[in-house]
Structure formats: C-alpha cells, structure tokens
Structure 1
Amino acid sequence: MFIVNLTYKSKLDQIDQFLNAHIEFLNEQYELGNFLASGRKIPRTGGIILSNVASKSELEAIIEKDPFKQNNLANYEVTEFVPSKTCEELEFLNENR
C-alpha cells in the first residue's frame, strides 16, 4: 500500500487551471482499481492519495500521467507501508487477514 503526498509548488490559480484534468485522472485510476482514497490537504497546500497498486514503480508510472505532474505543479512523495492493524471497515487492507 502507498501514501502519495502531493505538495503544490505553484499558486492556486495555476493549480485550478488543471484541476478538472486532475480529477479526470483520479476518476480513471479509481475505475482501474488503483486508488482507494484521495483528497486535498487543509490548508490547501496539496493532497493525499492512498493506492493499492502492486509496486512503487507501477505507481510512479501512474503518477507520470497526472496533469499536476505533467505540468510541474506539484512535488510527489511516495511512502510505502504495510497495514498490520485496521478498523473493521478497512480490514481488507490488513496483511494479517
């Protein structure tokens, strides 16, 4: 499992110009089953994506398709982790199930 931490490096008016394209990218990844959750940070300095793809290299290739990445609007930090404890609703993520 991966946490993708996006940090904007452009002003929000530039981010907003590509927001609809970014949302289309997210929608496509949800349809493909690659993303589990996503949303903006508060304050609005970027966003977070939770992904369950098989490998970091696969996720990095997916990120390259993000309009925010393609237009150099955000930095991306990818953290891999192995869920070992979850609430009941997220038990499907637990490696010990």
Structure 2
Amino acid sequence: MFVLELSYTAPLEAVDAALEAHVAWLDEQYAAGTFLASGRKNPRDGGVILAVADDRARIEEIAAGDPFVTAGVCAYRVTEFVATKTAPGLERYRETPG
C-alpha cells in the first residue's frame, strides 16, 4: 500500500486552473481500483492519496501522469507501507510482513 503526499509548488490560482483535469484523473484511478481515498490537506498546501498497486514503479508512473504534475503545480512524496491492520472494508488489502 502507498501513501502519496502532494505538495503544491505553485500558487493556488495555478493549482485551481488544473483542478478539473486532476479530478478527472483521480476518477480514472478510482475506477481502475488503484486509489482508495484522497483529499486536500488542511491547510490547503497539497493533498494525500491512499493507493494500492503491484509495486512502487507503477505508483510513480501513475503519479507522473497527474495533471497537477504535468502542469508543474505539485510534487509527490511516495511512501510504501505494509498494511497489517485495516478497517473491515479494507481487509483485502492487509498484508503479512515478510
């Protein structure tokens, strides 16, 4: 499982100009089963996405396609972790440490 932390690198006006395309991209990732949760940070200086994929390279490829990235308004920090405990609705994503 992965935590993707977005940090805005441009003024909010520039972020907002790319927001519609970013939301459409999010919708595609939810439909593909990659994203589990997402939202803005408070204060609004970026966002957070909880995601699943086979490996880090795939997550980095997906993040590189974010319209926020291609517009140059955000940078990603990707953290991989082993989800050994989850809420019941996420139990299929639980992993055994290896």
TM-score (norm 1): 0.93
Q: Secondary structure at the match of 2:21?
A: helix
| Mean Cα deviation higher: 17-26 or 62-71 | 62-71
Q: Give runs of aligned pairs for residues 1-97 of structure 1, distance below 5 A.
A: 1-96=1-96
TM-score (norm 2): 0.92
1:27-81 per-residue CA deviation (whole Å, 9 max, x = no partner) reads 0011111111100000101000111111110111111111111011111000000
Identity of aligned residues (%): 45
Q: Secondary structure at the match of 2:14?
A: helix
* Count of aligned positions: 96
Moved over 6 A (4+): none
For structure 1, the residue ranges without an aligned partner over 5 or more in a row are none
**CA distance in 2 between partners of 1:63 and 1:76 (Å):** 7
